Amino acid sequence: MARPVLRALLVALATLALGASLAACGSDGGGGATTTTATDGGSEATRGGTLRVLSEEDFGDLDPGITYSSAAFNLLSATVRPLYRYAPDDPTTLVPDLAADAPRISDDGKTLTVKIRDGVKFGPPVNREVTSRDVKYAIERGFNPSVLNPYASTYYRDVIGAEDADGGPIRGIRTPDDRTIVFRLRRPTAGLLAQATTLPLSAPVPREYARRFDAKPEGAVSDYGAWQVATGPYRFAADERGRVLGEGIVPGRRVVLVRNPNWDPATDSRPAYLDRIEWSVGNEPNVAGRQVLEGSGMTLGETPTAAIVRRAVERYEDQIFFSPGAGSRYAALNTAIPPFDDPNLRKAVAAQLDREQMRRVRGGEVVGDIATHFLYPGVAGFEEAGGHEGPGLDFLAAPAGDPEVARRYMVAAGYPDGRYDGDETIEVVGMAGDPADKNAQIFDEALRALGFRTRLRLVPPSVMYGRFCAAPRARVHACPNLGWIRDFADPQTVLDAAFNGAAISLEGNNSNWSQLDDPAINRAMARAALLVDEQERARAWAKIDRMITATAAAIPYLWDTQPVVSSADVRCVHQLWNQGHCDLAHSSVE
């Protein structure tokens, strides 16, 4: 479930504070008559009809080799077929999609072999059967400067030859026949790579057709997205030449999916009940929420506002579903500069912070569970890392904060009266807009209660990341509005980029916001990254999670659940791997 955390937090901004009356819903409550995670859409699903999806945010580039957002993944899961995917109701088990069977990983973990399914055809205008070479080209073009896939260099970097890849053939990807693709790796990371093939980059792209769109002068972006061909049950509406831009993709307005005439149900386990999907963007969130709840044949493609959630819970109980495992939120403390280079001061802040209040201002129990560590429910290793109870650290033991524990850590840090008396003014940068600003203010108050002099700046999300929290040179001390969503079920995708010292980037998009550079943790990550067995990986990363949490480099405060609302006549089959959005190839309209 890869998406930029920026986008995730943008959509979550809309979740305003909810009344205590919502608490009874529970964070993992199921939906009613029209919401389901059953992959057959319920026994009475109707074939045909149009589902309308409403959202405020637009998509950006929908090229499967470029896109990296939750909403786009939802769309593309209906139009293209990566090697593997997750079933809507099981966010952790790989299901073969284009692949014919389970991935084969060599004993040394350095070779991944995947057999391709027979009978999968490209949609118009290509109209030929997919081969393993189309998967090879799809991945190779991810390294083309005109495509520059945002996660290729993370998950495919161990493929031999990937380090020099620029869109041409990669030595480590072989296609011995039309039905087989083999990845040879420099390190034993085939297990991780197999899971990464659930992302759309592994969806086949016909080279002879896409080459002309990908071959661009320096600085230009491939326009394959505007001409893309489908392999899934649906395709973007297109003109007679196959151009989808302006037909199926109208930027700032809508996306339209229609049935792919070349999709053969015998090659796919998905029912594809709908005839057409119309996704309109630019909708005012409160208006769109009411249109969905009171209208028919609609679902909301993003987080509903608090007013809509409240309305749904009070009047349309069967039309709202709370999807667990939708990400985690935490406050990062900059470990690279004083004063938070002192772990005792960080622990004092963690102990002082009222995480119960942090959750209350976002809506209470309905928006999720209070976090006690970083691996969240639905990610492998969550239970091994302590489950809901957490690792049992004293500074995170009291959800409402424990000033006495905080005072003890202040004393340990060399402040005998429990109050900070250093010279620094603590720069706190948070996100503008309700409820994120409230979280930032509560965090700021916790710092002040410990004697810190602070300067709180509330800025738009793009500024918070781009200019401050992801830019080490800005020397920000604390960022209370951060969060992370896994790319797929593997725990490495939650912890590695966010806490590995090697991920610290002074110039690029720094994702290690705390700038935690703990040699023991770095070494443990390097070892865990090479484990192949899933259980072993889960245990190893759970141990790393405990190590990270113990440093208090960041303070976890919420494991999100995602509310999803739909019209009464929509049988929404929720993608638990993707924030509970309606799975377009499983959902139906009565």
Partner 1 sequence: MTRVVARRLVAGAGVLLALTAVTFLIFFALPSGDPAALRAGRGASPETVERIRASLGLDEPLPVQYLTFLQRLLLEGDLGHSWHDDLPVAELIAGRLPATLSLMAGAVVLWLAIAIPLGTLAAVRRGSWLDRAVGAGAVVALSAPVYWVGLLALYLLADDIGLVPLLPGAGAYVPLTEDPLRWLGALVLPWLVLAAAFGGVYARMLRASLVEVLDQPHVRAARAKGLSERRVVLRHGVRVAIMPLVTLLGVDLGALLGGAVLVETVFNIPGIGRLALDAIGRADLPVIQGTVLVAGAGVIVANLLVDVAHALLDPRIRAR
Q: How far is the CB of 6 from partner 1 (least distance, A)?
A: 7
Nearer to partner 1, 124 or 145 (CB): 145
Q: How far is the CB of 291 from partner 1 (least distance, A)?
A: 6
Nearer to partner 1, 122 or 376 (CB): 376
Strand, helix or coil for residue 508: coil
Q: How far is the CB of 116 from partner 1 (least distance, A)?
A: 28
- Contact (CB, 8 A) for 491 and 386: no
Cα distances from 290 to residues 32, 47, 287, 327, 566, in angstroms, run 18, 26, 5, 26, 10
Measure the CA–CA gap between 347 and 143, rounded to whole angstroms.
42
- State the DSSP string of 153-222: HHHSTTBTTGGG-SSS--TTEEEEETTEEEEEBSSS-HHHHHHHTTSGGGS---HHHHHHHH---TT---
Nearer to partner 1, 44 or 218 (CB): 218
Q: How far is the CB of 456 from partner 1 (least distance, A)?
A: 15
Nearer to partner 1, 288 or 442 (CB): 288
Nearer to partner 1, 154 or 231 (CB): 154
Q: How far is the CB of 229 from partner 1 (least distance, A)?
A: 19
- Contact (CB, 8 A) for 479 and 464: yes
With CA atoms as reference, report the closest residue to 38 among 271, 322, 278, 303.
271
Q: How far is the CB of 246 from partner 1 (least distance, A)?
A: 9
Nearer to partner 1, 99 or 255 (CB): 255
Per CB under 8 A, residues contacting partner 1 are 4-6, 54, 58, 60-61, 68, 145, 148, 150-151, 153-154, 218-221, 223, 251-253, 280, 282-284, 286-288, 290-291, 294-295, 459-463, 465-468, 470-471, 497, 503, 505-509, 511
Q: How far is the CB of 525 from partner 1 (least distance, A)?
A: 14
Contacts of residue 72, Cβ cutoff 8 Å, sequence gap at least 6: 59, 60, 62
Angle at 120 between CA 118 and CA 124, to 5 degrees: 150
Nearer to partner 1, 174 or 254 (CB): 254
Q: How far is the CB of 61 from partner 1 (least distance, A)?
A: 5
Contacts of residue 507, Cβ cutoff 8 Å, sequence gap at least 6: none
- Contact (CB, 8 A) for 449 and 352: yes
Identify residue 320 by its one-letter amino acid code: I
Cα dihedral angle (312, 316, 318, 319), rounded to 10 degrees?
-60
Nearer to partner 1, 107 or 507 (CB): 507
